[in-house]
Amino acid sequence: METNLTYDMYVPTRVMFGAGMLNKLSEQPMPGKRALIVISNGKSTRANGYLSRTEGQLHKTGVETVVFDGVTPNPTVDNVNAGAKFARENGDGRNVHQRPCTDDGRGHREHI
């Protein structure tokens, strides 16, 4: 099977992970003045305060936030297209993706 599919991708990304790292977000250089925060359609990110903490850290630096909370488990093509449309209409190319994590205080972490 022959295909003409090719791509060239350059994705400079900084990943911050670990206990207390969310509190250091506002210390980082911000590449823009607007951030698109992408979360699932579940409740844990909001209920556990991760969304408001992330928005607060970004607002400290003068960055406006927009939230897309429509990511579903095993997303369909329609779900992905809806997210892409939302990003085109509301973002400026700067995205913050959240995968919240609980910490029991003894170093045991579990992704939600």
For position 110, what pLDDT does the model report? 42
pLDDT surpassing 80 at residue 75: yes
Question: Residue ranges of the domains in the chain?
Answer: 33-111
Ramachandran bin of 93, using left for φ above 0, alpha for ψ from -120 to 50, beta for the remaining angles: left
- 33-111: which CATH number, 3.20.20.70, 3.40.50.1970, 3.40.50.720, 3.10.450.50? 3.40.50.1970
Q: pLDDT higher for 50 or 96?
A: 50
Average pLDDT, the chain: 81
This prediction's pTM: 0.69
